[in-house]
Amino acid sequence: MAARLSLNDVSLHFGGVRVLQDVSFEVEPGSIFGLVGPNGAGKTSLFNCISGHYKPSSGSITIDGTEVVGSAPSRLARLGLSRTFQHPALQLRATVLENVLLGGHLRLPGGPVSWALSLPHTTRAERAMRAEALELLERAGLGWAAHLPADELSHGLHKGIELWRALLSKPSLLLLDEPAAGLSHGEVEQLIETVRQVRAEQDITIVIVEHHMGLISALTDRVVVLDHGSKLMEGTAAQAQSDPRVIEAYIGKDAADDAA
């Protein structure tokens, strides 16, 4: 079931540096939500707070009403959260299939002892998950690459591998960190279609950090714009792109005045 994500007055300070300041918003279950803003706005830092890689200095983050501030990424994964990274974190010497299978390890029954002993119920679950991962790759048009080392594939395909790895965990909340970074125009168009397909076929909430406003406009229901660690505005992508405050934050006051 798609998760509801709620942030209330989330702040993050490193020493005397305020990275985030009193950020609040709510993401409705089943929606696609965008986090946008200029470089240094705090987008990835906020993502890291949500995914447990940073602990906020103050504030609340809940998934379906469960407080998750201070939770380890492993606990968040069990609550249904999965994420990708701006720079894909793949095992480059492992095959594409092996990389995707890493996303499903929490779904396997038992634990390390059961896995090491290859108990029958664990072996059956592993075979089923392997078949599921292969089906995902086939549907993504990557079946041909399943048994190739990941380092033989392009950056764009690495992005796709990481996305399907995240989806194998059956998340209720998926965080995509700059999924279009480094992609060609054609790859971005394919990514948009893939995310639309995922949304249509799965009961999932998606939050995207992205600079590519074409992708944000094509996919999101609502966006929050951050600037210098604070929430600048919330609304649709179209409203954000026409908001004078957002234009100023992206291109500077003088340029914004000239554009007006």
In this predicted structure, what is the pLDDT of residue 121?
Answer: 62
CATH architecture designation of domain 1-80+171-260: 3-Layer(aba) Sandwich (3.40)
Q: How many CB atoms lie within 10 A of CB 201?
A: 9
Distance (Å, rounded) from C-alpha 48 to C-alpha 56? 9
pLDDT tens for the chain, residues 1 to 260: 899 999 999 999 998 899 999 999 999 999 999 999 988 899 999 999 999 999 999 999 999 999 999 898 888 988 999 998 877 778 888 899 989 988 877 766 565 545 555 656 677 777 888 888 898 888 888 889 899 998 898 888 888 888 998 998 899 999 999 998 888 898 899 899 999 999 988 899 999 998 888 899 999 999 999 999 999 999 999 999 999 998 888 866 434 444 44
Distance (Å, rounded) from C-alpha 152 to C-alpha 124? 30
Distance (Å, rounded) from C-alpha 199 to C-alpha 205? 8
Q: How many CB atoms lie within 10 A of CB 44?
A: 18
In this predicted structure, what is the pLDDT of residue 120?
Answer: 61
pTM, two decimal places: 0.88
In this predicted structure, what is the pLDDT of residue 117?
Answer: 53
In this predicted structure, what is the pLDDT of residue 252?
Answer: 62
Q: What is the CA radius of gyration of the chain?
A: 19
24's enclosing H/E stretch is strand 17-27
Sign of the Cα pseudo-torsion (57, 248, 39, 178, in order): positive
Domain parsing of the chain, residue ranges:
1-80+171-260, 91-170
| Distance set, CA 19 to CA 95, 194, 197 (Å) | 38, 32, 35
What residues contact residue 215 under an 8 Å CB cut-off, 6+ apart?
179, 180, 188, 191, 192, 208
